[in-house]
Amino acid sequence: MEITSEQVKILRDSTGAGMMDCKKALAETNGDMEKAVDYLRKKGAATAEKRADRATNQGLIEAYIHAGGRIGSMVEINCETDFVAKTDDFKMLARELAMQIAAMNPLYVTREDVAKETIDHELEIYRTQARNDKKPEQVVERIAEGKLDKYFQEFCLTEQTYIKDSGKTIKDLILDMMSKTGEKITIRRFKRFHLGENS
């Protein structure tokens, strides 16, 4: 199947990926635009894994104020170069993250940030709930692990569903930006403020 330059342009505009990558993705998926986007995202995720040990000491701090000044958030997002930090796409990502934090009130950046004591405590609660519901002992652990995953999805920023697209997580947003920029991108820290609340 012949891939037209128009198809490549559409895919490139929607993903920000390089021209040759777009052409290859379309060739691999027989011109199916949706599958080509998935192909590029998976490729970006694989490339992102290779960048895991690269240093990120550039970036920016973004603030967002919501609800008539009653809720606010700040987030520090890092990349490898000042050049990427100054791009509109990177600034927009930082803005989206700050809005996500204000709206969804995560407690951690990733599941790796959750203390072992917290995980053990949550698992014990879920096991007790399962036993109280008269679940067979052989499935209690599986139920507890499943509920722990939901806990991570609710309270870890990178695992939360993106508020503007329920088909994506925040980790997907980060991977998309890494694929687009060719740089490692990390969320270093964040803080959410709610008027009148003790921190």
Domain boundaries, the chain: 5-50, 58-110+156-194, 115-154
The token pair at 1 is 């199947």
Among 101, 93, 100, which residue's Cα sits nearest to residue 16?
Answer: 93
Where is pLDDT greater, at 39 or 193? 193
| Phi, psi of 118, deg, nearest 5 | -65, -45
CB atoms within 10 A of CB 98: 23
The token pair at 128 is 């007790």
pLDDT-based confidence at residue 199 (cuts at 50, 70, 90): low
pLDDT-based confidence at residue 107 (cuts at 50, 70, 90): very high
pLDDT at 15: 67
Q: How far apart are CA 45 and CA 175, in angstroms?
A: 6
With a threshold of 0.85, does the pTM exceed it? Answer: no
| Cβ atoms of residues 144 and 126 within 8 Å | yes
pLDDT at 163: 96
Q: Average pLDDT, stretch 140-153?
A: 94
Under 8 Å CB-to-CB from 80, ≥6 apart: which residues?
54, 55, 56, 57, 58, 183, 184
pLDDT at 126: 94
Q: Domain 5-50 - what CATH class?
A: mainly alpha
Q: Output the average pLDDT for the chain.
A: 88
CB atoms within 10 A of CB 70: 12
- The CATH architecture to which 115-154 belongs is Orthogonal Bundle (1.10)
Q: Scanning the structure block, which residue is given the tokens 């052409």?
A: 23
pLDDT at 8: 84
**Which range, 10-14, 36-40, 92-96, 141-145, is most confident?**
92-96
pLDDT at 121: 95
CATH topology (fold) of 58-110+156-194: Tetrahydropterin Synthase; Chain A (3.30.479)
Among 155, 148, 166, which residue's Cα sits nearest to residue 190?
Answer: 155
Contacts by 81-85 with C-beta closer than 8 Å and gap 24+?
Answer: 81/183, 82/58, 84/58, 84/181, 84/183, 85/58, 85/59, 85/60
5-50 and 58-110+156-194 share one fold: no
pLDDT at 125: 95
- Residue 120, class by beta-carbon neighbours within 10 Å (0-12 exposed, 13-18 middle, 19+ buried)? exposed
Complete edge-to-edge strand list for the sheet that includes strand 186-194 = 58-66, 71-79, 186-194
| Cβ atoms of residues 53 and 166 within 8 Å | no
On the question of pLDDT at 167 being above 90, the answer is: yes
CB atoms within 10 A of CB 8: 20
The token pair at 111 is 């599941």
Give tens-digit pLDDT for 2-58: 888 888 888 877 766 667 788 888 888 888 888 888 888 777 654 555 555 666 779
Where is pLDDT greater, at 63 or 7? 63
CA 49 from centre of chain: 14
